[in-house]
Amino acid sequence: MNRQPTTNNQQPTTNNQQPTTNNRQPTTDNQFETVIGLEVHAQLKTASKAFCGCENRYGAEPNTLVCPVCMSMPGILPVVNRRMVEMGILAALALGCRINRRCKFDRKNYFYPDLPKGYQISQYDQPLAEFGKLHISGEGFDREVTIVRAHLEEDAGKSFHQDDGTQLVDLNRCGVPLIEIVSGPDMRHPEEAAAYLNEIKTILQYIGVCDANMEKGELRCDANLSVRLKGAAELGVKTEVKNMNSFRGVVKALTFEMERQIAILEAGGVIEQATMLWDESKGEARPMRSKEESHDYRYFPEPDLIYLEVPEGWESEIRRGMPELPAPKRERFTADYSLREDIAAVLCAERPLADYFEAVTEYGVEPAAAANWITGEVLRIAKGKGISIEELPVDPEATALLLKRISEKVISASIAKEIFAEMVETGASADRIIESKGLKQISDEDELLNIVRKVLDDNQPMVEKYLAGKTKLFGAFMGQVMKATKGKANPQLVNEILRGELGKRE
């Protein structure tokens, strides 16, 4: 993600929103501090739904993955999905939370067409887990965000508003298990919120409980945002921002809301508590009608479910299955492989990519060379083809062989790029392509010497200019030799020979 180099003390100005602010004191920009907390909903990728046996799958024909329980026919009884609880515990542990030995489910009552029961089974005052923390850092910030709680609940269905004013409902999503992760009001800039959300996404993907694709709604987030004078002890009046459907959308929506609040305060106004709906196409957030946001959920314990007990043994069994998480992996990559932090971050952004890197090094490739190649060529080609690292038809062993041929100077790095592209297309090994296409690097000194001499003889005027002091022409000679050898000449050797030969002609 591209992060702007802004921090909480460098907030974007609001000049374009307030024509009068041109005359304000120059200190105004630094006068305010933004406070952000996030509520993240993540779908747990269990095989079946939270309280019934229906398949939990995205993209099926509308209303085909339903049963009396998730359509809420009279007389139904929910049954808790054990995998949902296990995945919830794993996620909560990965977020540093304390698992409550005992928690309960509650009904959250509200009316909406995509919620046929008229209530959502959620957890209110006794959630699955509490007191977690997540460390985030980036350009200008380094922060520990508290996780107030993580609880389990079921998803609602989906409504589709038609152009003719009617509304269609798809209940396939009804009863899909969710974990809701609530942060403290600890973030100080929209970019921090995006970094926090991204870290949650990476963790959930690492532990395999959620694919966290925001476009598919697998990961969703609402934010609470307020602004206060710097140094103030009390929080300002907050607004809730909803309907952010991408990482970029989160930054844009929160920046919009932050600037809106600052502009109001600078003009001497007061912030009114509201729920703001982000409109991605218009690039603005506007308040929901107050009728729509009057929640009184009348939570009460779900009478059809008993307390959920999590014995210590179950928790520790789940903990034992925890893979290495992104943050410790990044640290290990910088420490053990001496990689730069940003390179380690790119490699560790996806577990399969990190695994691929480690597998290549296990075949004896220098970590720096492997990291360089994977963050460069491998990612470039995978992105260009729109495939994941797991779908890449070149396995780590084949990539390692190619990289060894570079270090052995059999091929140059630039030829290796061509070879790699062909490996991806054909599945052939590096050696076979080198052999069949005659791409072996020319490291024969006599052969190169002849080519260098011919290039110099053919370019006598250039040689004279070079000898007269235009030393920049050296690169042009190199280029000529490379052209004559179709890029196969060993560049280091050409460099040496060329210097020697030009020296002789002085």
Residues found near Zn ion in the complex (CB under 5 A): 52, 54, 67, 69-70
Contact assessment for residue 430 and residue 436, using Cβ atoms and an 8 Å cutoff: no
Q: What CA–CA distance (Å, rounded) separates 152 from 89?
A: 10
Nearer to Zn ion, 54 or 209 (CB): 54
Minimum distance, C-beta of residue 165 to Zn ion, in the bound complex (Å): 30
Minimum distance, C-beta of residue 36 to Zn ion, in the bound complex (Å): 36
Residue written as tokens 């004896």?
A: 364
Minimum distance, C-beta of residue 172 to Zn ion, in the bound complex (Å): 9
Minimum distance, C-beta of residue 70 to Zn ion, in the bound complex (Å): 3
Token couple for 144: 């520990």
Nearer to Zn ion, 52 or 241 (CB): 52
Nearer to Zn ion, 52 or 347 (CB): 52
Minimum distance, C-beta of residue 150 to Zn ion, in the bound complex (Å): 24
DSSP 75: T
Residue written as tokens 């009728």?
A: 291
Residue written as tokens 């290495």?
A: 324
Nearer to Zn ion, 61 or 163 (CB): 61
Q: What CA–CA distance (Å, rounded) separates 239 from 257?
A: 9
Token couple for 184: 């403290």
H helical segments located in 325-473 = 326-336, 341-348, 351-362, 367-373, 379-385, 396-407, 413-426, 430-437, 445-458, 460-467
Q: What CA–CA distance (Å, rounded) separates 416 from 418?
A: 5
Q: Report CA 3 to chain centroid distance, whole Å.
A: 12
- Long-range contact set of residues 51-58: C-beta below 8 Å, sequence gap at least 24: 51/78, 51/79, 51/80, 51/81, 51/121, 51/154, 51/175, 52/78, 52/79, 52/175, 54/175, 56/176, 56/177, 57/172, 58/216, 58/218
Nearer to Zn ion, 129 or 156 (CB): 156
- Given its phi and psi angles, is residue 217 left (phi above 0), alpha (psi -120 to 50 degrees) or beta? left
Q: What CA–CA distance (Å, rounded) separates 256 from 34?
A: 12
Minimum distance, C-beta of residue 171 to Zn ion, in the bound complex (Å): 9
Contact assessment for residue 403 and residue 386, using Cβ atoms and an 8 Å cutoff: no
Residue written as tokens 């508590």?
A: 273
Token couple for 129: 């887990």
Nearer to Zn ion, 54 or 115 (CB): 54
DSSP 472: G
Minimum distance, C-beta of residue 173 to Zn ion, in the bound complex (Å): 11
Contact assessment for residue 36 and residue 192, using Cβ atoms and an 8 Å cutoff: yes
Minimum distance, C-beta of residue 116 to Zn ion, in the bound complex (Å): 11
DSSP 245-259: -SHHHHHHHHHHHHH
Minimum distance, C-beta of residue 65 to Zn ion, in the bound complex (Å): 7
Minimum distance, C-beta of residue 157 to Zn ion, in the bound complex (Å): 11
- Going by C-beta distance under 8 Å and a sequence separation of 6 or more, which residues neighbour residue 151? 103, 122, 123, 127, 128, 129, 179, 180
Minimum distance, C-beta of residue 161 to Zn ion, in the bound complex (Å): 25
Minimum distance, C-beta of residue 121 to Zn ion, in the bound complex (Å): 13
Nearer to Zn ion, 69 or 398 (CB): 69
Nearer to Zn ion, 69 or 430 (CB): 69
